Structures are given as structure tokens and as C-alpha cells.
Amino acid sequence: MVLYYCPYCNPKYQFKTQSSKGTLICGLCGEDLVKKPFIRLNQIIALVAASTLLLPLIYNFIFLIKNQINPPNKKYQANSRLMIGIKDKINKIN
């Protein structure tokens, strides 16, 4: 649906009429109506700004839920057999 508007008149009181040439004109002032774009530049800028603020929050929220369902392995200490093997190799070098 293509929307037309008169840039000079109040949008509340606008009504469209068709001229003898077939173009749409404003019923109040008689000026040609201008086609309203579907997506404007300021809408694109607003979407980019909102996404830069919201995407990190959504990303953190997804990983928070993922870690609640499958908690990460919390083995922070090294295996004792591995440590003994490393100590033996160090002692052989010295």
C-alpha cells in the first residue's frame, strides 16, 4: 500500500482528490501529494542503535540459560597422577 501525503497541510485534515491529469492532489491546498517511503533512514539508524544495545544482553541471557541447563565442568585442580608425572620429568631433567 503506497501512502501519499501533503507536506504543507495538517495530516488530520487531508483528503485526496485526483486531478484531470490523473495525479493525486491535496483537497485543501491543491499541491501534488508526495509518496511516503516505506522505510526511512532514521528508522534504519534507530534499529541499528537498538540492536547494538540489545544484542549483548540477549547473548548473555542465552548463555546464562545454557549454563543453567548444562553447567560447565568445574575441575580446576590438576589430576594427581598427572602432577606426579610432571614432577618426575622435571627431576629427570635436573
Using the CB atoms, write b or e for 12-38: b if 16+ within 10 Å.
eebeeeeeeeeebbbeeeeeebeeeee
Same domain, 49 and 91: yes
Same domain, 54 and 94: yes
Q: Using one digit for the tens of pLDDT, what is the confidence trace for 53-75?
A: 999 999 999 999 988 888 777 76
Helix (H, G, I), strand (E, B) or coil at 10: coil
Tell me which residue range forms the domain holding 18.
Answer: 3-36
Same domain, 54 and 78: yes
Is the confidence at residue 84, as pLDDT, over 70?
yes
Is the confidence at residue 1, as pLDDT, over 60?
no
Overall number of domains in the chain: 2
Could you tell me the CA-to-CA distances from 41 to 33, 46, 71, 78 in Å, in that order?
20, 9, 44, 56
Predicted confidence at residue 57, as pLDDT, reads 95
Same domain, 67 and 26: no
Q: What is the pTM of this model?
A: 0.47
